[in-house]
Amino acid sequence: MGHKTPFILFAPSAYERESDCACAEGPLLIAPAGQSFDSDCACATETIFGDMLLPGATTWTLPPLLYRTTLSSGYQLAFNPAGSTGVVVLNESAANVLESFTTPAPLDSAIAHQLATLGLLTPLHSTSFTPPHSPLLTLWLHITARCNLHCAYCYAPKSNTDMSLAIGQAAVEAAFRSAQAHGFGGIKIKYAGGEPTLNLSTVRAVHAYAQKLAARTGLELREVLLSNGTLLTSETLMWLRDEGIRLSISLDGIGEAHNRQRALAGGGASFPLVAESIERALALGFSPHLSVTVTAYNVESLAEVAAFALERGLTFNLNFVRPAPGALGLMPSPEQLIAGVEAVLAEIERQPPPYRLIDGLLDRCDLVLLIVIPVGRAILIWL
């Protein structure tokens, strides 16, 4: 894209998704009002809407702590440590617009308005403006340290320790209290482990308590259970479905591709149990999200798990393995990763789904292209 068109890339830290060992991270999306890109991923993927209200200041300038440095090819990096936005990359044209506010001026263009929205401009007589944050405050609950699998890439220490109901309730209380104090619109609870179904009674009780707090405070409540999928009975699945709790199941491949890196703790294949749980959920009208951790063990068979998901109308995301202590030979090469993702894309092209998948294909990325506001020949693009 030519330098005459203002161009901005950003992945704001305040909008970042939470992650677990099988969940992509990336910025939440700033989109025109009315558009939403939510999914059944375990991550918080709520959309930040683009019609943001800025303070009614008439004159704006550069924040006093704004850091800028020149990159290659005429690009510029900008970061406001006092704001809630992370690092922003501007092309030459967008950088010139930002530079023009060295002399205080009104927001007289769409590009200037969006620079202010990103926290790169501040009202002349106030330095306290912070761009809006995620509408949901996310709470991770480590329900148990017990697990019935022995995953090749697991980094979580295992023990026979369970979270008590008292601790779970106290954590939920604190989350709701913080959400109210800081202007969040709701709470998102992630029930994780270990394998959280091994302490399902606490999950049920904490869920009931969170519902009471949501009703009392008027805050929205969203929940997701992160499971390895081996212990999901019909009763549990129906309870999750009826209570509106999302389900994310780890599925790293079909057959041996899954078993090799997600074996049962005592040895043996876990894939048949996971596949049975998925089919059982679908028969109950409950669609889980599939979370795929990519390693050197399964990178060459990613198309198979993509086909499995697409044939069943399920969303999925790819997560590139992180180094774990004592886990050798798990990291695929860049060439293997590229080939694996290309194979998944080919499978998506072969049987395109009626729902959005692109954001989950590259770990820690959101591949959204939005032309936010056209102004003559100038456009602002958010990736």
Could you please report the per-residue DSSP string of 50-93? S-PPPP--S-EE--TT-EEEE-GGG-EEEE-TTSS---EEE-HH
How far apart are alpha carbons 270 and 260 in whole angstroms? 9
> What number is the average pLDDT over the span 38-57?
46
- Residue 190 or residue 112, greater confidence: 190
> What number is the average pLDDT over the span 81-102?
84
Structure tokens at 26: 């990336």
pLDDT band (50, 70, 90) for residue 6 = low
The answer to whether the peptide bond before residue 194 is cis (omega within 30 degrees of 0) is yes
> What number is the average pLDDT over the span 345-367?
82
Q: Judge whether 106 and 59 are in contact, CB under 8 Å.
A: yes
Q: Distances in Å between the alpha carbon of 321 and those of 194, 292, 337?
A: 18, 10, 11
pLDDT band (50, 70, 90) for residue 332 = very high
At 36 the pLDDT is 38
Is the predicted pLDDT of residue 292 greater than 70, yes or no?
A: yes
Is the predicted pLDDT of residue 79 greater than 90, yes or no?
A: no
pLDDT one-digit tens code per residue, 118-154: 889 988 876 454 544 558 889 999 999 999 999 999 8
At 172 the pLDDT is 97
Is the predicted pLDDT of residue 110 greater than 90, yes or no?
A: no
Is the predicted pLDDT of residue 358 greater than 80, yes or no?
A: no
> What number is the average pLDDT over the span 368-381?
39
How far apart are alpha carbons 124 and 216 in whole angstroms? 40
At 351 the pLDDT is 93
- For the chain, what percent of residues have pLDDT higher than 70? 75
- Residue 128 or residue 104, greater confidence: 104
Among 197-206, 254-263, 321-330, the range scoring the smallest mean pLDDT is: 321-330
Q: Distances in Å between the alpha carbon of 117 and those of 52, 55, 344, 373?
A: 7, 10, 36, 13
At 303 the pLDDT is 97
Q: Would you say how long the chain is, in residues?
A: 383
> What number is the average pLDDT over the span 284-294?
97
Please provide the DSSP assignment of 340-378 as one string: HHHHHHHHHHHS--SS--GGGSSTT-----EEEEEETTE
> What number is the average pLDDT over the span 304-316?
97
- For the chain, what percent of residues have pLDDT higher than 90? 57
Highest mean pLDDT, choosing among 132-141, 198-207, 320-329, 365-374: 198-207
- Residue 70 or residue 40, greater confidence: 70
At 165 the pLDDT is 97
pLDDT one-digit tens code per residue, 264-273: 999 999 999 9
Among 15-24, 46-55, 322-331, the range scoring the smallest mean pLDDT is: 15-24
Structure tokens at 291: 């979370």
pLDDT band (50, 70, 90) for residue 41 = very low
Among 27-31, 76-80, 112-116, 296-300, the range scoring the smallest mean pLDDT is: 27-31
Q: What's the chain's average pLDDT?
A: 82
Is the predicted pLDDT of residue 50 greater than 90, yes or no?
A: no
